[in-house]
Structures are given as structure tokens and as C-alpha cells.
A and B are shown apart, each in its own frame.
Chain A
Amino acid sequence: MVNHWIIAPVVLPAMTAVALLFVPRGWMQARRAVSVASVVALSAICVVLWGMAQNGPQAYAVGDWPAPFGIVVVLDRLSALMLLAAAAIGLAAVLYAIIGWDRRGAHFHTLFHFQLLGINGAFLTGDVFNLFVFFEVLLIASYGLVLHGGGAWRLKSGFQYAAVNLIASTIFLFAVGLLYGVTGTLNMADLAVRVAALPAADHALLRVAALLLFIVFAVKCALVPFHWWLPSAYSAGSAPAVALFAVLTKVGAYAIIRMHTLVFADDAAGISGTLQELLVPAAAVTLALGAVGVFGSRSMLQLASYSTVASMGTLLLAAAGLGAAQISAALYYLLHSCLIGAALFLLVDLVAAGRGPVADRLLPEVPVPQALMLGGLFFLCGMAMVGMPPLSGFVGKVAILDGLRGSENAVLAWTVILAASLLLLVGFARAGSTVFWKAGTMALRSAGGRPEAMRPAPRRAGLVVALLLAGTAVLSAFGGPVLEATDATAAELLDRQLYIRAVAPAAFPPES
């Protein structure tokens, strides 16, 4: 019995996106209803898929063409976990968008679902070229979402964002070409078998392909020195779009973990060693730079952007060793980082909206309406982002520090993570006290010179942020079971024969 549900997270957003195009222009409520219902259904499917993934990796051959000739979609614990994270963030982002952001440009919901399609496809695909295709799908949608709302800033940073990612896509194609030229296949499971059996003469070319792929994924996850596009793109984009982008950076991290536990796990070509040499210092510098960026930021958007950079640094520093405990901790931190990144960007949007022309700048002039609610949420966001108890940032950082114990990079990693946490703490404390405590009493004036009545943010919007924060609280309260799940995920990843056997039981020659 073929399990067709595996392809559902790709098919459902695709159908929804197209269906939304046929909803007439004026029927905003209908469009919103379809969009939300689809994301809710997607979340339910992802929960079911997580249950199915407990039985080990399963492959779905699209059109019933056998691997490695046809396209395969593979569900295992890692992809199911990533799908769950994407669906959760997607749900929060769409709930925030229907409050009003989706009115400020055409086709927000269509682009949103195309983006979900790309993200889900990237998590599920078992083929390197299809990974490229799904990357392109999610990028095309994200260009549209960055521009949603219009304005000079969005256009300019949209161009930069598109140009950077187009260069990355070209490098991706060079890597794909090299991989095909060396091994004669692009199916990940088949690649894993053939890479292990590759003659030593081809190892140099394989290393080049692996490192080109690493550069592409590093651009996606904003690893130093490819981090500089993130603050400008994330600051310019509209809030619900950027909340969904919290998953986008994780797609890069996912791809690094997937490729290096499956395809390049065989160390004959020395790829794992090279990865360690590159990833550990790059992630450490990313974390440090993110923390310094948060410390020195002059606006809340910069604060949120650089804290995203810092969390990617933490995640990759944890995952760099590719040991079971390290991957497990990194995956837990990844879930946390998705939730809190999305929450922070939505919250900044709410705070800045109430402060009129001062917007998100870290200046104490203007009081914040609903200071208690927004300030409280900001406090909780800050705590989670920095890694203070009791929210999931703390559990994640403890798991990471524990996982790194005994590894050769332990001293460096511990030092950087702890020092960066202190810097983040000071940065968030400074920002929060400037905006919420030192707030002056200067009244906002409208264009006519009259004092303007403050319009409070809709309570529903605060509720969405609170929901995301509740998610991190749940991650923390059920830290034990969640960490057991990520442990199982890491163990499954490191036993790559499971994946290879699931994709093609007999087609490939057995690994020596």
C-alpha cells in the first residue's frame, strides 16, 4: 500500500495557492478563510506524518517511477520534525496576516502558500536537483513576500536579496553539475552509496562539489561571511512574511545536516573534516557577530535581525560536530529558534506601529500604547532569545552545552556561546528599558498639529505573539519528551542505511 500522505504537504499548498488566484478581488474574507483552513489542514497532516515517521523512513516514488530514475519524496523523523515547525510558524504568520497585513498588496495568500510549498518540498525531497527546484520555488515566493506592501526600502532590499540568492542558485547548479559528473546520479540515497565507492582520483572534484553546496546552504542560513543580506531583507519585509522567513534560514541548516549525515557521511574524501574546519569558526563568528549586532543595534528590527543571526550561529555551532547528542540539541534549538524568531518579528511590528514616526527606533521619546502587554511580551521574548529560564531557550542552550561537552571544540564553543549570551542579555535589556521604561511623555501629533489619539494594537495580534511564546513554554515544559524525540531523530539520521534502504530496497549495490 503506497502511502500517498507523504506528498500531501507539497500538493495541498500548491492547490491552495492556485485556488486562491480564482477568488475574486473583493472577496477578502473568503480568501482568508481558504488560506487559514488550508494551513490548519496542513498542520494536521504534518502531525499525522510525524506519527507515521516513527516507523522509520518511508519513500514515495512520484508517478511510481522507481528510484533512482524517478523523483522520490522521503519522509523520515527529521523531515517530519521540520514540516511540523514550518506548519506551526505558517499558522501563526497567516493568523497575524489576516488581521490586516494581507490587504496591503495583491496576492499575499497565494505567495504565502507557494512559499510553504517550497519549504515543505525542500524538507521532503530525496533528490539533490529537486532540492534546487524547491529552493527556487520558495525563493520566488519569498521575493514576492519581501516586496509585499511596497515602498523604496522593500524594492531596494528586495533587489539585493534576489541578486544574492540568484548567485547562490547558480553556485548550487555548479555543485549539482559536478556531483552528477562525478557520480552519475542525483538521488540522495544513490549518491550516498556511490560516493562511498568513488575512486580516490575523483575525491578532489567531490570535495569541490560538497564545498560549493556548503556555500549555498551557508548563504541560506546567513552564516558569516554570507550573513549581510539578512538584516536588510528581514528589516524591510512585512511582519507576517518575515515571521515565515524564520523557517527559511532553517532550511539551510536542514540541508547542511541532511547532506552531511547522508551523502557526505563517508569520510574517505575528507569532507567531514573540512566541514568541521570551516563550520566551527564560521558559526562561532556568526554567533559573536549576531550578539555584537544586537548589542549595537539602533532599532528593534536590527535587534530582531541580529538575534536571528546569533541563533543561527548557535544552532550551527551545535550541529557542526554531527554527533548524536549535538544534532539532537541543535534540532531542539532549531524548533525553539523558529518560534521565538517569528514571535520577535511580529512583536516588533506591533510595538513600532504604536509609536508612530519613531517607529522601531531605540529612542525613549514616545510612550508605547499598551506598554504593559507589549512590554511583558518583549520581556518574555528577550528571555527566550537570550536563553534565560524558564522558556525553551534555556533548555536548548543547556542541551547544546551538554552535547558539546567532550568534543574537541568544547572550550571555544562554550566560551563563545556563554559570552554571546551575556552580550545578548545586555542588548535586550537595553532595548527593552529604552523603549518601555524610559519612554517619555511627548504626545504624537498628527499632520494638522493636534495631538493624536493613540490607537491600540488589536488584541488578536498580541494573542498571536502570545501563542508563539506559549509554544516555547510548551517546548520547555515538555523538554524531556521533545529531547527524546530529537534524540531518536538524530539516531535515525546517523544510521543512514535506514534511509538508503527505504528509498530503494534492492536497486543499489550494498555498501561495502
Chain B
Amino acid sequence: MESLVASGIGILTGAGVYLLLRRRTLPVIVGLTLLSYGVNLFLFAMGRLTLDRPPILGDGVAAYTDPLPQALVLTAIVISFGMTALVVVLALRGYLDTGTDDVAIRQSDMVRDFGPQNLGHHPLDPQARRDAW
């Protein structure tokens, strides 16, 4: 069983890392998800692999499963779920606003607003930028 779990973690992590290195947003997100699956399994295995035992220590219980990694995995799942949702929204908005799902930032995207108050000219408006020159 050890080799099965270990190779499962290895395959998930390897596939995740491969996808992370792609330059479009969707594969990167899938890669992040696979990586978090890999790490969840890994955390689980760090409490040692035990079969069919309760995660409770009580009178007359000789063998038990370590409950702490299960709690850790639960927290990690919740956090990675929230993060994945956020990144998906970010990627979607990025695609809709710029027309490309490339993770790279183009020179033409690099315009931002400055100043504590909005000072009249809107820097995101290309017409205003051209006129100003």
C-alpha cells in the first residue's frame, strides 16, 4: 500500500508541476489543484497509514489512526478550495478584460491610476493618453 500511495502522490505532484509551467491560465489552475490534491494525500500519509481503525483514543483501544493529520487535511482542503475559486475568478476576469488568457503581462496592460484622489484625467482611457501627448 505504501508504494501505491507514494506513487499516487508522486504522479499528482508531477502532473501538477508540469501544468504549472504552462503559460495559459487554465492549465496553471488545474496544476495548482492537482498539487493541492497531492499535498493533501501527503499530509494524510504523514500520520502513518492505518487501516480500519478509529481516530479516537479510548479505554481498550490498542490501535488507532492519528486524527491530527486529518484535521490538517480538512483545513488545507478548505483553504485550497477558497483559493482555487478566487484564482478561477481572477483568470476569468483577466480573460474577459484583456482578451487573452496568457499569464504574461503585456506592455499595453501596464497602465494604472495614481494619486490619493482621482485627478481628472483617467489614465486607463487610451484616447486621453494620446491627446495628452
Contacts and interface: CB of A to CB of B under 8 A. Distances in A.
B120 interface: yes
B116 to A, nearest CB: 4
Contact of B131 (A151, A352, A446): A446
A143 interface: yes
A350 interface: yes
B91 A159 contact: yes
Interface string A360-377: 100000000000000000
B105 A153 contact: yes
Q: Which of B28, B80, B105, B128 has the most CB of A within 10 A?
A: B105
A152 B98 contact: yes
B131 A156 contact: no
Nearest to B113: A149
B87 interface: yes
A156 B87 contact: no
Nearest to A300: B114
B90 A452 contact: no
A445 B120 contact: no
B115 A173 contact: no
Contacts of A160: 103, 105
B3 interface: no
B72 interface: yes
Q: Which of A147, A176, A235 has the most CB of B within 10 A?
A: A176
Contacts of B15: none
Q: Which of A129, A159, A178, A446 has the most CB of B within 10 A?
A: A159
A5 interface: no
Nearest to A349: B114
A166 B128 contact: no
Given A155-B90, A170-B39, A357-B132, A99 B105 contact: no
Nearest to B39: A173
Nearest to B28: A163
A174 to B, nearest CB: 6
Interface in A96-145: 96, 99-101, 104, 129, 133, 136, 140, 143
A180 interface: yes
Contacts of A359: 111-112, 114, 123
A354 B106 CA distance: 25
Contacts of B5: none
Given A349-B115, A357-B128, A452-B120, A162 B86 contact: yes
B11 interface: no
Nearest to B116: A99
Contacts of A155: 90, 93-94, 97-98
A460 to B, nearest CB: 8
Nearest to B16: A170
Given A104-B113, A136-B79, A160-B105, A446 B42 contact: no
B119 A353 contact: yes
A100 B47 CA distance: 51
A510 interface: no
Contacts of A151: 111-113, 124
Nearest to A175: B39
Contacts of B87: 159, 162-163, 166
A16 interface: no
A430 interface: no
A236 B112 contact: yes
A149 B112 contact: yes
A438 interface: no
B115 A353 contact: yes
A180 B46 contact: yes
Contacts of B82: 140
Contacts of A163: 20, 28, 32, 87, 103
Nearest to A158: B90
B35 A170 contact: yes
B50 interface: no
Contacts of B45: 177, 181
A180 B69 contact: yes
Nearest to B96: A155
A157 B103 CA distance: 8
Given A129-B72, A153-B111, A173-B76, A101 B35 contact: no
Interface string A5-44: 0000000000000000000000000000000000000000
Contacts of A397: none
Contacts of A85: none
A350 B115 CA distance: 5
Contacts of A201: none
A373 B86 CA distance: 41
Given A153-B105, A155-B90, A173-B43, A354 B119 contact: yes
B124 A143 contact: no
A128 B23 CA distance: 33
B117 A458 contact: yes
Contacts of A357: 121, 123, 128-129, 132-133
B110 interface: yes
A458 B86 CA distance: 35
B56 interface: no
B109 interface: yes
A353 B113 CA distance: 8
A153 B105 CA distance: 7
B6 interface: no
Nearest to B32: A166
Given A152-B109, A163-B103, 13 more contacts: A100-B117, A140-B82, A151-B111, A152-B94, A156-B94, A162-B83, A162-B86, A235-B112, A352-B115, A353-B117, A445-B132, A446-B128, A458-B116
9 contacts: A156-B106, A159-B87, A159-B90, A159-B91, A169-B79, A169-B83, A174-B42, A349-B116, A357-B123
- Counting from the closest, the 9 A-B pairs by CB-CB distance are A353-B115, A181-B46, A99-B116, A352-B114, A100-B117, A353-B114, A357-B132, A152-B109, A155-B94
